[in-house]
Amino acid sequence: MAAEGWPVVIAAAGQADSGEARRAMVRPGGRMTAMIRRTVLHGMLAALALGLGMAAACAQTRQPPALQDAQQQSLQRPFYDVYWCVTGALANQAPPTGMNVRQDIVIFYDHRFGLYPRFAGSEVRNGGIPQATDMGKHLAQVRKDLDRDMPDRNFAGIAVIDYEGWWPDWETQNVEIKRASQQYARQRNPGKTAAQIDQIAKAEFEVAAKSVMLETLLLCKQARPKAKWGYYAYPDLWRPERFATATYAWLWEASDVIMPSIYALKKSVPDAGSPKPTEIKLSDYKKEITDVIALSRRYAGPNKPVLPFVWFRYHDVNKDYANQLVNDMDLDAMMNVPKAAGADGVIIWNHIVEQRWVTDFRNFTQSKAKPLVNAAVKPSASAAAGKSGK
């Protein structure tokens, strides 16, 4: 999910925990100091040690629970809210008329929130890699962007940070990120061997990546303490294995809400069918959703909400079905499997900037999605404060 060049969607209300922000220490020129490197690295090691201890204690439950266990767990979730997060210049032409949805949600896209470093096609934004981030300038810009897009300091709904340029672990980075990180390390460590540069690049990247994500999150929680803050697609449906370690313990702890992605990369077909490479058996898609919700619930614990993102179109990586509206099987799975698996609701996302996408989406949501949405909702106590579709 990424929406270039368009503002976030803003509505109102909910509840959240408060948090204290820590400002990053930087020296002139924007390089993180050795102090913050040591501090963050020590924190990462401590989190890793804690996670290893937890893993030993929970060795028998490392795998996500079976669907039956998840269904039993869902009985303990008293609410199931559906959030409407449709953005873009033409979003108001496809409103959730008659749908029992909440609109107290704000999403911050990476190109409009702080000075987030990433590669976007041929464009290098803000240095490209987190090591190059001037944390002081980045956090100052985050404050300005908060004031622009969330001016209500008492906003109490869901606040989503959508940073998708990289993940804060070295092993899953693409070649472009690794090459730039190695070059960054080589410039500052002349004379080192290739193996040494690789080690330095890995350590610098992971420390800086954690700093960017964590300091941004903590600042947001301090500035808007009533909102529930979290990152989009942590964890995600497509690469859940990356999250099955203690590497992200610091993120689960700091987040107020866990928001995995369960977008449909492939089109579901009946189990009796023979799926093409761009298709998937329905039972397999349902299992993927169940597993990522179970993983999210494990990290969220009993008190933090789990709200997966759904998109009513097939992902644009699918060469056969890209941007087509999902079929009835996938729509039903998106709306009902998370509920059975222990989620607290779902977030419906879309981004509409072209007229051709308005009519089909509006018709789809009114004729197909609305009945499923209204049947799935079990409103929470704070839902009345959010804006429902009218």
Cα end-to-end distance, the chain, whole Å? 27
Q: pLDDT tens across 29-38, in order?
A: 344 434 334 4
In the structure, what pLDDT confidence band is assigned to residue 381 with cuts at 50, 70 and 90? Answer: low
The domain ranges of the chain are 67-170+209-385
Do the beta carbons of residue 318 and residue 266 sit within 8 Å? yes
Q: pLDDT tens across 140-176, in order?
A: 999 999 999 999 999 999 999 999 999 999 988 999 9
| Angle 218-14-227 from CA coordinates, rounded to 5° | 10
Neighbours of 293 (CB within 10 A): 30
Q: How far apart are CA 235 and CA 244, in angstroms?
A: 9
Which single residue is written with the structure tokens 């964590």? 214
- Sign for the CA dihedral angle at 155, 156, 158, 159 comes to positive
Q: How far apart are CA 116 and CA 163, in angstroms?
A: 8
What confidence score (pLDDT) does residue 241 get?
A: 73
Q: How far apart are CA 25 and CA 34, in angstroms?
A: 10
Q: How far apart are CA 237 and CA 62, in angstroms?
A: 17
Q: How far apart are CA 220 and CA 142, in angstroms?
A: 8
Q: How far apart are CA 226 and CA 206, in angstroms?
A: 30
Kindly list the distances between the CA atom of residue 288 and the CA atoms of 158, 313, 323, in Å, as whole numbers in the listed order: 25, 17, 21
What confidence score (pLDDT) does residue 77 get?
A: 74
pLDDT at 270 over 70: yes
Q: pLDDT tens across 192-247, in order?
A: 999 999 999 999 999 999 999 999 999 999 999 999 999 999 998 877 777 877 78
Q: How far apart are CA 344 and CA 304, in angstroms?
A: 9
Q: In the beta sheet, which residues pair with residue 32? A: 26
- Sign for the CA dihedral angle at 4, 117, 348, 262 comes to positive
- For residue 202 the two structure tokens come to 């890995």
Q: How far apart are CA 328 and CA 6, in angstroms?
A: 30
Q: How far apart are CA 44 and CA 38, in angstroms?
A: 10
What confidence score (pLDDT) does residue 250 get?
A: 95
Tell me the whole-structure pTM to 2 decimals: 0.81
Q: In the beta sheet, which residues pair with residue 159? A: 106, 229
What confidence score (pLDDT) does residue 65 get?
A: 42
> What single string gives the DSSP state of each residue in 270-312?
-TTS---TTEEEHHHHHHHHHHHHHHHHHHHTTTS-B--EEES
CATH architecture assignment, domain 67-170+209-385 = Alpha-Beta Barrel (3.20)
Q: pLDDT tens across 327-360, in order?
A: 999 999 999 999 999 999 999 999 999 999 999 9
What confidence score (pLDDT) does residue 24 get?
A: 33
Mean pLDDT score of the chain, rounded to an integer? 83
Which single residue is written with the structure tokens 């009114």? 366
- For residue 325 the two structure tokens come to 């509206």
Do the beta carbons of residue 185 and residue 206 sit within 8 Å? no
Q: pLDDT tens across 9-27, in order?
A: 333 333 333 333 333 333 3
Q: pLDDT tens across 85-94, in order?
A: 999 999 999 9
Q: How far apart are CA 353 and CA 314, in angstroms?
A: 17
pLDDT at 57 over 80: no
